[in-house]
Chains A and B, each alone.
Chain A
Amino acid sequence: MRDRLTTSMRASHVLALIFVVAALCLAAFGAATGDTFYLRLGTEALIFAGLALSVDLLLGYSGALSLGQALYFGIGAYVSALTLMKVPSFWLAMGAAFLVTLAAAIIGGLIANRVRGVYFALITFGLAQVFAKVVYNTRELGASDGMIGVPVIQIGLGPFSVSAASPAGFFLVVLGIIMGLYALTAYLLDTPFGRVLTALKANEKRVPFLGYSVWRARMAAYVFAGLVAGLSGALYPMLRGFVSPELMFFATSGNAVISVILGGVGTLIGAIYGSVLLVILKSIIGSWTEHHLIVIGLLFMACVMFLPKGMVGFVRPRIERLLGREPAAPEPAPPSSATIKSGSAA
């Protein structure tokens, strides 16, 4: 028997597949028509989708609302920018961003995971604001002006090389990385570790009685979410050629939370859909009226009132039902998840 969590994750994967196909069509169409702006806007939406994914990992699984996830996004962006200005190497920048975000997320996790609930939200918010202010006032990091002059790099992928300036090429690279992060997160949540996280959200007090350390699971989720945000952030300066302290401000963290709620909390793919929708809406409505914040706010309220589980939360049960009909046949489920299921279902 397949458990409910696996079925819903499968439904998310179907939506992820639809997303990738749509994105590939867009890339092909954009490349054919020689478009630059929309492909680069799409790339930016994907980068912010990575940040939203990390928020959903915390909010949707361990149940911790982080209001300062832009902290790690910004650290990734700054480290990547600083590295690229010294050595224009894609892999070096990603590696450096990975290591520094890892260290930062461990420190941040040690501080933030001492508390939970609303205090966790406030601590993460405070950490990000403090760090953003420090960067805002540090001349060596460009202070309030940020840093420009991040070179356009060549990304070496085995025998191929893609320029970050090529709209379609870089779009595909970012699509690959973000969907890779999605797949990794989804895989991790399907392991026993992921089930502990789900248990944490359901009833934190009972988890120790089952023999699991609450602190260790929360910490691991926090550090992993930090890394997802940091690696997404590392892509930003490659796209736009600069970093600024605004990337760490609350507006960035807040947009990520809005994306997750629009898309559907705890669905992972919803974070990606939500983020893309938000970036596109902001771009279109922003050109149309200067009261775009009101429009976005109303949409957000309508979503919370009428689609409390978000867009994906609305669509997914239907897909689950479709998927649920299939496995009446003898179950040839992938072996990797089969072992896990027998463990957690016991």
Chain B
Amino acid sequence: MEDNLDLLIKKCIDNDRGGQLRIYQLFSPVLYGICLKYMKNEDDAKDVFQEAFIIVFQKISQYKFEGSFEGWMKRIFINKLIETLKKKKKDYHFLDVFDPETEIIEEEELETIPITQEKLIEYIQDLPDQYRMVFNLFVFEKMKHKEIGEMLQISEGTSKSNLNRAKKILQTRILAVLNFKTA
């Protein structure tokens, strides 16, 4: 079946269930992947995924047919994910004070080891919420610390610090796997 994306979007605007299903089928894997990266576990990811997809369909009439539709949806998802995580502020493990002397972690170059994508996702999910958010925004969304700080309402230094902590945790886990394999 040939799909015309614009036509599908128009169908969704008209609340056509077929069009909505097709959009869902086309984009759900990528968007669900994003949810898995940002949330702590699959259950949380499912919840946000559903809510964000509903927002997509509700707001699809606001899409101006300019730029990437997938990008537009990703933006909604990321905002929703951040909003959800912000609501769980009590779970945050903030590292508010940034001390460049102590916080900069020397990045160790790791030997290439094949690790499944699922495992990598699992490592990210195991990070504390705040670290995970910063790590995702920095590594995958290519945002700068200043931008992350503004988005999460934390200081630039806190963002840097959280990223370093996240990297450190991930590095430790990967090294453990590496040691286990080489042993």
Please indicate whether A and B come from the same complex rather than being unrelated chains. no
